[in-house]
Amino acid sequence: MTRSTTKTGSGRLHEAMAARVAKAELPGIVTLVARGEDVQVDAIGAMAFGSNEPMRRDTIFRITSMTKPILAAATMMLIEDRKVALDEPVDRLLPELAHRRVLKRIDGPLDDTVPARRPITVEDLLTFRMGHGLIFEPTFDPPYPIITAARDLELVMGPPDPRTPHNPDEWLKRFGTLPLMYQPGERWQYNTGSLVLGVLIARASRQPLGELFRVRIFEPLGMKDTGFSISAEQSRRLPSYYQTNFQTGKLELQTVSGPSEWTKAPAFPSGAAGLVSTIDDYLAFARLLLSEGLHKDKRLLSQRSVRLMTTNHLTPE
């Protein structure tokens, strides 16, 4: 087991994380706690099970859903630029999603629908109330017709994967052939809103999503190891990719999302889960939010936008 720290790491945090590595719950982990300029970093374990290559502070991780706050920040920047509005229906930028139909029953046939009572708005996408998203019950991947259809259309909802061959326009065209699961605004459903929002803000800014992120967020914050793709040299810092087998409870090494796949730009840059980053890069982004939009005395986001991002917008129900 390897460990590297700057200053004195939190003993209890180290013990808790080291115990997880020792029990083979994960091969390695990097933690960071920052209080002002006091930054404590702990790198524990290895880059893969059975590997002698240690986990390091500059390890580049697939940050999956930690992509979503970056997407939200970019969206708020475009709202400040008046290129899009929170309460605006998505129809202007995403005509593929105009005049939605909604399933009568979540497990019903795709042609058993009613008209949507109102359009999907940008705010619906940000708050995951667009009427479509992941289903966690009764299982994570139930054999409902709506789920089967999404799979048949190759609408992979996870991290970059060679099974996602579609560019954003084709992805949205295919997604637009499906009905919604629920009425817009009716309930909270995770993930899909961010996939759609990534397409929307790319169109609003008239540039690819990765370019928008780079110009507005990554370069100003010095996030040099963050992106939808990385160089071959950087890819050597990407650890092995494991997923839990929910039948056995064990981690299994995955053949997809290997280091070489990250050296070329994905066809579909996922605003939901598509980025890789380091712990220090993400600290820079977190500090932007903590400072309510300021970075080295330069304002990247308004205070109001950050407060909107960090306010609960869901009802008690």
Q: How far is residue 236 from each of residues 55, 59, 60, 233, 280, measured CA to CA in Å? A: 12, 9, 9, 6, 17
Show contacts of 148-151: CB within 8 Å, 24+ apart: 149/110, 149/178, 150/175, 150/178
pLDDT value for 89: 98
Within its chain, how far is the Cα of 106 from the centroid?
A: 25
Give the number of residues written for the chain. Answer: 317
Sketch the domain layout of the chain as residue ranges: 3-67+220-309, 68-205
Tens of pLDDT along the chain (317 residues)?
444 454 444 789 999 999 999 999 999 999 999 999 999 999 999 999 999 999 999 999 999 999 999 999 999 999 999 999 999 999 999 999 999 999 999 999 999 999 999 999 999 999 999 999 998 776 666 789 999 999 999 887 766 665 677 999 999 999 999 999 999 999 999 999 999 999 999 999 999 999 999 999 999 999 999 999 999 999 999 999 998 888 888 899 998 888 989 999 999 999 999 999 999 999 999 999 999 999 999 999 999 999 999 999 987 76
Report residue 27: phi and psi, to 5°: -75, -30
> What pTM value is reported for the model?
0.93
Between CA 126 and CA 76 the distance in angstroms is: 10
Task: Supply the CATH classification number for the domain 3-67+220-309.
Answer: 3.40.710.10
Residue type, 91: D
Between CA 53 and CA 58 the distance in angstroms is: 13
Do residues 125 and 236 lie in contact, with contact meaning Cβ atoms separated by under 8 Å? no
Between CA 254 and CA 238 the distance in angstroms is: 13
Using alpha carbons, select from 79, 101, 50 the residue that is nearest to residue 239: 50
pLDDT value for 248: 87
Between CA 203 and CA 97 the distance in angstroms is: 14
pLDDT value for 255: 85
Q: Tokens for 49, please give them.
A: 């099970």
Burial of 50 per CB tally in 10 Å (0-12, 13-18, 19+): exposed
Q: Tokens for 211, please give them.
A: 């370019």
Q: For residue 39, what are the β-bridge partners? A: 34
